[in-house]
Every structure is written in structure tokens, then in C-alpha cells.
Amino acid sequence: MRLLKSLTIALALTGLVTTASAQTGPLRIEITEGVIEPLPFAAPDFQAEDSAASEFATNIARVVASDLAGTGLFREIPASAFISNVTNFASPIQYADWKAINAQALITGAVSTGANGKLNVKFRVFDVFSGAPLGEGLQFGGSTASWRRMAHKVADVVYSRITGESGYFDSRVVFVSESGPKNARRKRLAIMDYDGANVQYLTDSNDLVLAPRFSPTGDRVLYTSYESGFPRIYVLDVASVGRRVLDDQVGTMTFAPRFSPNGNTVVFSLESGGNTDLYRMDINGANRQRLTSSPSIETAPSFSPDSSQIVFESDRSGTQQLYVMPAGGGEAKRISFGPGRYGTPVWSPRGDLVAFTKQNAGRFHIGVMRTDGSEERLLTASFLDEGPTWSPNGRVIMFMRESQGANGAPALYSVDITGRNLRRVSTPGAASDPAWSPLQK
């Protein structure tokens, strides 16, 4: 088993010497409106300030451009169209040359290396049609090994300045990596950057593992494993890959865990005697509390971001539907009323929406609704779409799509909450059960 090395990155964010006062120009995308015409931008290779930096200067600009274009909100203008080029980070921008190729945003940067594998990245964003910088220049310091993270941080700043929303590129995804035939699938936990880079395995594939979930700080993962022969919830430390069982009660099955927003509490399903109900307990295993007592199936609980409520699924009405109840238990209110069955609800990190899996007329959908059940919208449809997880900014949903038949296999996809920009997420092989981390610190 390849162990995940502890990733220690000190990313320092410092302002460059101010060259122009920060301004809010007309360059702005409103994400909620469902962007049809992506905003054209240019991201010339960053300037290498020493010979060791040249590889990073090119690669960082490529990752920044890929992050932005991958949102569907932006479109990169290829370098072959450039009229002028940026040869010096400090030189004045020839706005007319960029305006002529309709680059509405321009990103320039410079990279230098230092002793002990240090890397420094500085960058600026320009609003070409206003002829002015968009915010101040910034720089990040880190190690050369973390160059992709630094690129993602640059892209997060650019995204944030243009959309007014926080970004999501400097984030990771924990998922289940699958191999083998459909009737003898082998599964192991894996973690990667949000864009599929830097895959590392957290467990071996000796035991079936399901549905990993990040802690609010991204340092721990809850998941279900058959390590004991029976499904049990485990807590895994991402840096050390050390793990421990959360609750080991013989004769019961525990699954579907999720952290509370402060990371101290776990809400989960416990099955005993064929009946599945919701429980919560402290992450250290103390204070187990039963939240539901019903002969129906209660599972897939998810906290609201303010910790006050839990959304979950139950078949108490006869079919799977979504309910919201107080986080300490109590009366639950049904929020799903459309045709079909609803499961795997996940509260958005912004608090405004619940994402879910819907089954209707032989098809599976990923959808969103407001937390009172209103304004339901289906974003996808296929033979099997399942298990949504939110980007840290609540604007994108990643999920699993499994193809049909004997050779069917799952893969990860993402879609934005307007239903646009459906994309397959790169993984080394078949993959399921994605969970998106918060933005890294």
C-alpha cells in the first residue's frame, strides 16, 4: 500500500507593491444566471525569473487557464492569437493588443525559485476593456512540490475577483477507486486534487470500502469498511492514514456517516435487527444519541452549515423521500414531493440548497431544491447518477455516474448548479462516491 506522505506546504499570501488602487470594474460574471457565453481571457506563460523556474512558469499558467476554462464561465484565448506578448512582469500592458483579440481578462505572472526548493509566484489580473488592473497584484510562496496548489490559488483569486464568489480550485476530492469485474469489485479509498491530479491511495483494496466524507478541515475522512466482515464506520487521518473504528457494537451495522460543521460530531445510520435509524455521537465515540425511532429506513443524514438541522432520507411514507429535522432529533418535515424517489440529500455549504439523487421512471438524476423543498431542479439524467457532493463555494456538484450492463463501471462527473458544464472528472480508473473537501488553508 502506498502511503500518503504528509503534505506540508506553507503557502504565504502577501500583497505585492501596489501599482494601482484596487478597483471594481465592469468585468464581472454573475454565476447564478447560468452563463451561456463564457468570458474570454488570456493567460500567457508566466515569466521565469531564473532558469530553474521556466518549467513552473509555463505549467502554472496552464493550470490556471485549465481551472478557469473548466468552470464553463471562462474561455481561454490561445497563445497563437496573441498580438503582443508579455516579456516582463513589470512592463506596462498593451491593452489595445489584448482588446483587439477580445481578451476581456488578462492574467500575467512571474515565477522564481529560491534555496531549498522554494517557489515564488506573483501575478496580476487586468480588466482589458477598462484598461486597468483588477485588484492588486499578489504573490504566493511555497515549495516547488506544491506548484499545482499555487496555481490553483492564483486561479481561485482570479475567479473570485471576476465572479465575486470564493473559488474552489485549491481543494481535494476523496473517492472510492474501483477495479475488477462488476460481481467482484475491489474498492479502495483514494484522494486527489479536485481536477484529478496527484492521486494517492489511502487504503488497500482488501476490504470493501464505501462513501468517504471529509471533515470540515479536510484532515480526516469518515468512511464505511467491511474490514471486520461487517459494515462499520471508521475515521481516517489523511496525513498519517491511521484509522480507527468509530463505534464497534456487535450485531449492528453502521454506515452513512457525516461530520457536523465543527467536526466534533458524527451523524450516521445504525442498523439493528433489520431496522435502520439515525444516531449522532462525538467523534471520540462518546455521547451516542438516537435521533430517530421508526420501523422505516432512515439514512444519508447531512447537517445544515449552521449545525441546527439535519436533512436525511426516509421511506416512512412508503418510498424514499427527503426530510429535515432539528439536529438533536424531533419532528421531521418532509420536503420532497415530486414524482419518484429521493435519496442522498446533501446540504449546500452556502446553506441555500439541498442536492439529492432522484429516481424516476427508470432514470436517475442529480438535482437541487431549496431547503424547504421548493424550486426543485434536475441537473442531470442517466442510467445511474448518484451521490452528489458540493464544491466548497456551493456552485458546482460532483457525483458518480455508472454505465449500464455487464461492463458497466462508475466514473466521476461534475456539473454546475445551473445544470451547465457537465464534465467527466479525470481518475486513473473506475471511481465512485466522491466527496469534495473544503478549500485548503
Q: Do residues 175 and 411 make contact, with C-beta atoms less than 8 angstroms apart? A: no
Q: Do residues 281 and 245 make contact, with C-beta atoms less than 8 angstroms apart? A: no
416 makes contact with another protein (CB under 8 A): no
- The whole-angstrom separation of Cα 53 and Cα 311 is 49
420 makes contact with another protein (CB under 8 A): no
CA dihedral angle for residue 406, residue 407, residue 413, residue 418, rounded to 10 degrees: -50
**Minimum distance from residue 183 beta carbon to another protein (Å):** 5
Q: Which of 185, 288, 316, 334 binds another protein (CB under 8 A)?
A: 185
310 makes contact with another protein (CB under 8 A): no
Q: Which of 145, 197, 384, 422 binds another protein (CB under 8 A)?
A: 384
Q: Which of 67, 76, 156, 386 binds another protein (CB under 8 A)?
A: 386
Q: Which of 78, 251, 339, 374 binds another protein (CB under 8 A)?
A: 251
Q: How many residues bind another protein (CB under 8 A)?
A: 41
Q: Do residues 308 and 261 make contact, with C-beta atoms less than 8 angstroms apart? A: no
User: CA of 397: how far to CAs of 109, 242, 368, in Å?
Assistant: 30, 29, 10
Point out which residues pair with 124 in neighbouring strands.
108
**Minimum distance from residue 386 beta carbon to another protein (Å):** 6
Give whichever of 206 and 307 is closer to another protein, judged by the CB atom: 206
Contact stretch for another protein (CB under 8 A) within 32-40, 97-105, 146-154, 384-392: 384-392
Q: Count of CB atoms within 10 A of residue 5's CB?
A: 11
Q: Can you list the alpha helix ranges (DSSP code H) found in 71-176?
A: 95-100, 147-163
Q: What angle do CA 241, 243, 248 make, to 5 degrees?
A: 165
- The whole-angstrom separation of Cα 347 and Cα 260 is 11
Give whichever of 43 and 211 is closer to another protein, judged by the CB atom: 211
Q: Which residue type is seen at 55? A: E
Q: Which of 433, 435, 438, 440 binds another protein (CB under 8 A)?
A: 433
- The whole-angstrom separation of Cα 234 and Cα 252 is 14
Give whichever of 14 and 249 is closer to another protein, judged by the CB atom: 249
- The whole-angstrom separation of Cα 246 and Cα 433 is 20
Contact stretch for another protein (CB under 8 A) within 37-45, 104-112, 133-141, 182-190: 182-190
Contact stretch for another protein (CB under 8 A) within 23-31, 58-66, 79-87, 207-215: 207-215
Under 8 Å CB-to-CB from 29, ≥6 apart: which residues? 35, 39, 73, 162, 163
Between 257 and 296, how does the x/- string for binding to another protein read (CB under 8 A)?
A: ------------x-x-xxxx--------------------
Which parts of 218-237 interact with another protein (CB under 8 A)?
229-231
Give whichever of 200 and 359 is closer to another protein, judged by the CB atom: 359
299 makes contact with another protein (CB under 8 A): yes
Q: Which of 109, 212, 218, 387 binds another protein (CB under 8 A)?
A: 387
210 makes contact with another protein (CB under 8 A): yes
339 makes contact with another protein (CB under 8 A): no
Angle between helices 54-70 and 147-163 (to 10 degrees): 40
Count of positions (residues) in the chain: 441
Q: Can you list the alpha helix ranges (DSSP code H) found in 164-295?
A: none
Contact stretch for another protein (CB under 8 A) within 24-32, 110-118, 134-142, 379-387: 379-387
Residue 145's nearest CA partner among 25, 299, 11 is 11
Which parts of 80-139 interact with another protein (CB under 8 A)?
none
Count each helix (H run) and each strand (E run) in the chain, helices first: 3, 32
Query: Which residues bind to another protein, rule: CB under 8 A?
Result: 181-185, 208, 210-211, 229-231, 251, 253, 255-256, 269, 271, 273-276, 297, 299-300, 313, 315, 320, 343-344, 357, 359, 383-384, 386-387, 402, 404-406, 408, 433
